[in-house]
Copies of this chain bind each other. A is one copy, B any other.
């Protein structure tokens, strides 16, 4: 069983998620540990999370604004370098050529060496946005490294050719083989989640399900809290 050491050579990490709060609740502990070790982390959310409420009177645009602010608050807590939102609508994300190009552009701008995203092939994935985000993130890997793919992206002043070398997946049904012990930063993880006030209005009380899940993972490696990942072989 492997742990945080799989990230040893990582210097710049990009996380591609679907909604504000995915990163925080799924791998917020791992991210916090990495930023403390000096890794530069970039967060990409594909959608605005703008249907994320059960209150039918909410205005979608207002919810989007609120969640953009919450994302930045959480990013500060976790030590994230910069956050990007691709502006798609929640519940309607598609892994199309446009999304692929948007993500490839950020691989080129962030110069990340490592990708962390949803496993698009988890057969238990019920949320279509999660699948779409993971698929598009994977589909952008190859083209981002080819100079003739969307060459205008390479004219942007910050951009260079994509240089990803490693891919890690979360929310996977493939046997996870990486368990990161996040016990020491769990308060930070909780604080980052709680920053998403629109989603967890009762604070830690709204996050019992997450603590249970992370405790279950912790039991496997005999610690209090853990997060599970899987490395994907790439070429």
Question: In the complex, are the beta carbons of B138 and A105 less than 8 A apart?
Answer: no
A100 contact set on B, CB distance < 8 A: 92, 128
From residue 106 to 134 of chain A, which have CB atoms closer than 8 A to chain B? 121, 123-124, 126-128
Return the chain B residue nearest A109 by Cβ: B155
Counting every copy of the chain, the complex holds 6
Query: A211 CB to closest chain B CB, in angstroms?
Result: 16
Return the chain B residue nearest A120 by Cβ: B123
Question: In the complex, are the beta carbons of B142 and A126 less than 8 A apart?
Answer: yes
A138 contact set on B, CB distance < 8 A: 126, 128
From residue 151 to 193 of chain A, which have CB atoms closer than 8 A to chain B? 151-159, 167, 174
Question: Known contacts being A143-B51, A155-B157, is A126 close to B61, with CB within 8 Å?
Answer: no
Return the chain B residue nearest A56 by Cβ: B147
Most buried by B among A50, A63, A91, A159: A91
CA distance A141 to B154 in the complex (A): 24
Which segment of A8-16, A36-44, A214-222, A227-235 sits at the interface?
Answer: A227-235
Question: In the complex, are the beta carbons of A51 and B121 less than 8 A apart?
Answer: no
| Size range of the chain A interface in the assembly | 35 or more
From residue 73 to 91 of chain A, which have CB atoms closer than 8 A to chain B? 87, 90-91
Question: In the complex, are the beta carbons of B68 and A48 less than 8 A apart?
Answer: no
Question: In the complex, are the beta carbons of B60 and A146 less than 8 A apart?
Answer: no
A55 contact set on B, CB distance < 8 A: 147
A149 contact set on B, CB distance < 8 A: 51, 90-91
Question: Known contacts being A126-B232, A126-B235, is A155 close to B152, with CB within 8 Å?
Answer: no
Question: In the complex, are the beta carbons of A152 and B235 less than 8 A apart?
Answer: no
Return the chain B residue nearest A57 by Cβ: B147
